[in-house]
Amino acid sequence: MVIVCRGAEPDSRVGLTVSRKVGGAVTRNRVKRWLREAVRAIPGPRGGPWDLVVIPRAEAADAGLLVLQGEIADLYARIAR
């Protein structure tokens, strides 16, 4: 899930929040590392500065980095429309 709004800063910003529903502390930290890397690897959404909050679901713990990168790319494409 992603919450999107126009950003006031000149660059887009991404925030991550991983709840305990995803898993224990080790699992949540792993998911956060994967999401940070996915956001770094993919250029931000077009159309101006955005403020994004990414809230992964419990399935993200089993997904892996490549799946999360694909999901982030899809979300960025939807935002750009």
All domains of the chain, ordered by start, with CATH?
2-80 (3.30.230.10)
Q: How many CB atoms lie within 10 A of CB 76?
A: 19
Please give the Cα distance from 11 to 20 (Å, whole number): 30
Global pTM?
0.85
Q: Indicate the pairing of strand 50-54 with strand 13-16.
A: parallel
Q: What digits encode the pLDDT tens for the residues 46-77? A: 877 889 999 999 999 999 999 999 999 998 88
For all residues of the chain together, what is the average pLDDT? 90
CB 54 within 8 A of CB 12: no
Helix (H, G, I), strand (E, B) or coil at 13: strand
| pLDDT over 70 percentage in the chain | 100
- Please give the pLDDT value at position 10: 83
